[in-house]
Chains A and B, each alone.
Chain A
């Protein structure tokens, strides 16, 4: 059953090959925006809209309370890191919270896509919790990064953040008609491998989305990218194709990841993949350095390479509007 009619213009956009502005090129431009102008795709046609919840496409204030909502993704706070690339990750996390609190449209909750701590130490998790308490959004949903599950296979992470989760900490929830799925791809990693979801989690996920209507917008969030960004550096998930296969029927899928400490975006059919900046330190672009470690930049540049991601859902629109906001 075809929920989304094949739009002639949409088809044309997809057929273009490095010629003019195709959908891929448009979204590259979207990622550069970051200034508050939000582009969304409506039936494949880009539509700009003022960056405020409650303003519909005709520019008039929308008094309908259920028009949509926004949330903010933060990632890779690495609490406890103290090397030259950023000697004060507490200050930059606080700056991220200040940025959240300064948004014209306050987010309804936060998603943290992992590497909350740097060394899985209790005082590091405590410090992040403490700093996030001053955010306007009181609900924070977490998934772990590999730095959060060191030494004890995630035991201390799960003690802290594992309530209402299954297995290694995966879970889902619904918010105003959007279905959110938090996945864990940083446990039981195999030598020479990439991120990994594992059979148990994939089984759970298949069941979790099976009975949802095709028109339900889906947001997947996980630490390591669920697409192949740069396998040489481990920037990918070996069994993500299976997970994405369960989402084929949905008209709108947004995948939010962290781990690589820079923004990157890819669109594949109905699925938009997006990675967030870190609030702690930047990392080099794929292949532009010997290794994917912390990248030292001049002090005055640091905050321009750290940031948060604001995500807007407008009811009735296929895709979520994603805007990256640097700290400086």
Chain B
């Protein structure tokens, strides 16, 4: 009986290791992280001098884009297709939106409509 137990106990770490390796192989090249959510991507747009920079931003699905107003005049961020709309943002205030679907998202400042930008989500 003792012999069998020793074998059984010895076999456990081997089994665990095998399972771990198998998991790692299945996950592919991504890191192993504590939570089971994929790590969120972020991107920034700077608002300054009555313009959005970069004017066209390319991001991946699931990215949260944050607009920061560095201008000395308030602006807004409003989707031309009615998908997102910020309240007015004064200097140093921010607005964020997470893009969950692929597509092109033109937007503008509703206070100064000549200010336009685009987010391209792939």
Name A residues whose Cβ lies closer than 8 Å to a Cβ of B: 83-85, 118-120, 146-147, 150-151, 189-194, 232-234, 290-294
Instruction: Out of B71, B78, B111, name the residue touching A147 (CB < 8 Å).
Output: B111
Which residues on the A side are within 8 Å of B80 (C-beta)? 191
A–B complex contacts, Cβ < 8 Å, 13 sampled: A83-B72, A118-B74, A119-B88, A147-B74, A150-B74, A150-B88, A190-B113, A191-B108, A191-B116, A192-B108, A234-B113, A290-B49, A293-B72
Name B residues whose Cβ lies closer than 8 Å to a Cβ of A: 49-51, 71-74, 76, 78, 80, 87-88, 90-91, 106-108, 110-114, 116
Instruction: Out of A84, A118, A150, A292, name the residue touching B76 (CB < 8 Å).
Output: A150
* Minimum C-beta distance from B13 to chain A (A): 62
Closest to B79 in A: A191
Report how far A85 CA is from B72 CA in the complex, Å. 9
Report how far A85 CA is from B116 CA in the complex, Å. 25
CB-based contact B71/A293 at 8 Å? yes
CB-based contact A191/B74 at 8 Å? no
Q: Contacts A83-B91, A193-B114, A232-B114 given; 7 further ones with Cβ under 8 A? A: A119-B74, A150-B87, A190-B113, A191-B80, A192-B113, A234-B114, A294-B72
CB-based contact A191/B106 at 8 Å? yes
Which residues on the B side are within 8 Å of A189 (C-beta)? 110-111, 113
Q: With A291-B51, A293-B50 as known contacts, state yes or no: A234 contacts B116, CB within 8 Å.
A: no
Q: With A192-B114, A193-B113, A234-B112 as known contacts, state yes or no: A293 contacts B49, CB within 8 Å.
A: yes
